[in-house]
Structure 1
Amino acid sequence: MQEFYIESITWDTTFNLESEITLYVRHSGAAFRICYDPRILAVSPSVLDQHHESYRILHNDDPDGEYLEVAERLRKPFEELMTQMAPPIESTRHLHSYLYPPWFILEARVAESSSSHIQPHFKLALSRQESPRPGEYNGMFLQAHLSPLLNSELNRYSSRQVQVLAQTPQLVPSRVLVDGTVYFFKPWVSGRVHGYHELQSYRKILADTEASPPLLADARICRLYGLIIDNDDDVLQHYSLDNGEEDHSGTRLVGLLLTCIDNRGTLKDLAPWDDCTNEDRLRWSGQIHHAVECLHNAGVIWGDAKPENVLIDMEGDAWLIDFGGSYTPGWVDEDKRETVEGDRQGVQRIDDWLTRWSRQPVTRIKRNGEGEGRRQGGSVEGGKEVGGL
């Protein structure tokens, strides 16, 4: 786990040397906004020159990796101050503390002792009502479509009831414990069509499983087990979940509880390696075909069929994940997206891809060198580590 994680950096995208640079950093249960204002830094020509150079690199999005070096260089002077201000680490962490952390605004100033160094300065702390709302987009909202959730049979929990067992490298909770059962936590991003499509697919899988248990009983697919919904007492601000006629004011959908698949990595990660046998690839192909056939029999489309959306569990079996629709060029054609035909095309292209790897001489498949890096095993869903709300 990284001790500090830079969630994002903002600057003026229209070239402007007088642009501020702002870093958003997570550390030890707290969130920090670090501001570099050139008007404040102008008291030192050398510090201002450094700021301008940092801005140029960020603006150019340098492909040689200087972007990340700049981000770390801007964060580094604030390490000690952030460590002092962060709350004590809880022995048992809950999702609530991640979603609603204390927020602190920090500011870069020029050190009095040395005009060429940054002096970190605490500016103010934000109340929970003032702090940024995680997962909120300023674009369209689909909240009205979510009203059936509040009356569905899905289990509902508060983030205070969810214990965090593991996090992604981005410090986002991933594996969680609720009522003695381990799940994968997937954050809900308001206004995201992909998320709404996925949620509808999961609900249909659940309904079909209950209506006809044999239909999906042996399909290795990720499933939905519950919703995490917070109210005003948790959020401490008005955050309406839907705009329907019923009054659910003050509630917000936080995330989904999904199947936790202890896994070795994705199909894309594992299939190319020299310790993967042709028998493995053939078995995975058969399991993918079977799972997709089960989904289609239940009236569900997989959607974004590709090797990244197949997890290989610790027993070596393949699981389908990510039912958010859409498509990935090269795996499914755009005119076939989110259709049975598109799923079949994607599965056939996965088969072709596996066949190509099966024909590769072992000496060409290296662990360190050419080829793709292997994902560390762990509990993930969707073949992706979730980055933030």
Structure 2
Amino acid sequence: MPWESPDSFCMLDLLASDHAIEYAFMYNGTRFHIFTSAEKLLGAGNLLQDFNKFLSHLDDPDIMFQFEEWVLAPLDDFMRKVAPSQGGGTRKPITLLDYFAPPTYAFTIVNKAGTLFAVQEDYNAQIHGDSSPRTRISDSLSDSGPTAHELAGDANLDGYNMPSQDFVCRSSLPPVRHILASELERVDDGLSDEQMSDVPRKVRRVGTDDVFFFKAGSKDHGHLREMELLSQINRSGNFSSPFQTSTLVGIVVWDDSKTSLMGFLLEYIEGETLASRMDGASMETKKKWVRQVESTLKRLHEVDIIWGDVKADNVMINKNGDAVLIDFGGGYTPAYIKQELQQTVQGDLIGLDHIKVALGLTDGI
């Protein structure tokens, strides 16, 4: 929890308008949806002024931390009662279904005689929104309903955010196995108590030794882009060793609807990121890694694929000491390239130059 607690806490979603905030988070394996607005905080005291200060500076990490402490304080006792610490003893295995469909509580924070007060409501995904990743798999574009953009445009923070849902045509999905969310459990190797509310990444198929890296669906549709590009890489037949990228091996679907995509599975890479390994590596090893990244990036461009967010954090060094390009979900790093250069060959090459600088292989860009 953000206020000096050893318990586990993970922010799931934050939506803000010019007068309201919706905040979803996981606390000790239990999900909470919080809503408050200027209207709800009218009255005695300085609560409205405090709220407006937070609202205008939520992009500041320190202000965001203060907002969490402020808005969650009236829930403290309730949260500790319904979601006690999971630390100590043997941990119960958590499946992806357990994580994304947990006990969920909803509250509106109001001004009661100058004090923040939490009003509990019956949680309803159609009213309060659903932070779980769901992408509807439709048989054709004609039955896909409104677009994700249209749904997002209907969001109404005067009350609550309407749940958004993406759509993907079944025929565009890659030809990989579909696995139920209940059949995949988090691999609990070295995770601290504080990490237990984080989205599971390393997962195992229940009853087997098959281990994967899980990526959940995202509101920016990055998961759809990444699945398509990894499928394109596989279809090209041009990426056998020494050209190495992430490998798509499966799709995760919801148990209650096999036509709802939760995320996808990648081949698990044992190793660390280039960003983690660079400081202790020799100059010759750094040169080898850059050659591998450069040659794989060149091959990507030859088949008209843009890597996207090119940086040392998105290169894995596997157990054989080779560089593997990961994260094809789009996006960019503002410190590396201008926004207008994202998803361009030029942007990729500038990102590569930044990697070289970080490794000490060039003086600057």
Q: TM-score, normalised by structure 1?
A: 0.67
Aligned to 2:93: 92
Amino acid in the other structure paired with 1:56: K
Q: Secondary structure at the match of 1:139?
A: helix
Match of 1:261 in 2: 269
The correspondence for 2:53, drawn from 56, 76, 81, is: 56
2: CA distance, partners of 1:280 / 1:11: 46
- Equivalent residue, structure 2, for 1:189: 218
Query: Judging changes above 3 Å, is the alpha-carbon distance between structure 1 residues 180 and 200 closer, same or farther for their aligned structure 2 residues?
Result: same
| Structure 1 residue 97 displacement after superposition | 1.8
Residue 158 of structure 2 corresponds to residue 148 of structure 1: no
Q: Is the 8 A contact 2:8 2:196 kept in 1?
A: no
Structure 2 counterpart of 1:199: 227
Match of 1:6 in 2: 11
Q: How does 1:287-306 map to 2 (within 5 A)?
A: 287-293=292-298, 295=300, 300-306=305-311
* Alignment CA distance shift 1:346-1:50 (3 Å): closer
Q: Is the Cα–Cα contact under 8 Å of residues 7 and 85 in structure 2 kept in the other structure? A: no
Q: Which has the larger radius of gyration?
A: 1
Distance 1:345 1:145, change over 3 A: same
Letter in 2 for 1:155: R
Secondary structure, aligned partner of 2:265 = strand
Matched residues in 1 for 2:323 and 2:334: separation? 22
Q: Does 1:139 align with 2:149?
A: yes
Q: Secondary structure at the match of 2:227?
A: helix
Please, which of 168, 181, 184 is the counterpart of residue 162 of structure 1? 184
Shift of the 283–170 alpha-carbon distance from structure 1 to 2, 3 Å rule, reads: farther
Shift in CA distance, 325/82, structure 1 to aligned 2, threshold 3 Å: closer
Question: Quick one: structure 1 residues 68 and 327, their matched pair in 2 at CA, closer, same or farther if it must change by over 3 Å?
Answer: closer
2:72 corresponds in structure 1 to: 75
Count the aligned residue pairs: 322
2:322 match: 317
Distance 1:196 1:8, change over 3 A: closer
Q: Kindly, what percent of the aligned residue pairs are identical?
A: 21
Q: Is residue 331–residue 345 contact of structure 1 (8 Å, CA) maintained in 2?
A: yes
Shift in Å, 1:229: 1.8
Residues 1:30 and 1:61: Cα distance change in structure 2 (over 3 Å): closer
Amino acid at match of 1:24: A
User: 2: distance between equivalents of 1:328 and 1:38?
Assistant: 34
1:222 is matched with which residue? 246
Cα distance in 2, alignment partners of residues 110 and 189 from structure 1: 34
Gaps of 5+ in 2: 1-5, 135-146, 152-164
TM-score by length of 2: 0.70
Is the 8 Å Cα contact of residues 29 and 197 (structure 2) preserved in structure 1? Answer: no
Deviations 1:308-365 (A, max 9, x none): 3212346643221122356656767888865667655654553355345789xxxxxx
User: Superposition RMSD on alpha carbons, in Å?
Assistant: 4.0
2:209 corresponds to:
180
Amino acid at match of 2:265: L
Q: Which amino acid aligns with 2:232?
A: K
Using a 3 Å threshold, how does the CA distance of structure 1 residues 358 and 262 change in structure 2: closer, same or farther? farther
Q: Distance in 2 between matches of 1:41 and 1:337?
A: 41
Amino acid in structure 2 at the alignment position of 1:171: D
SS at match of 1:71: helix
- Residues 105 and 123, structure 2, Cα contact 8 Å, conserved in 1: yes
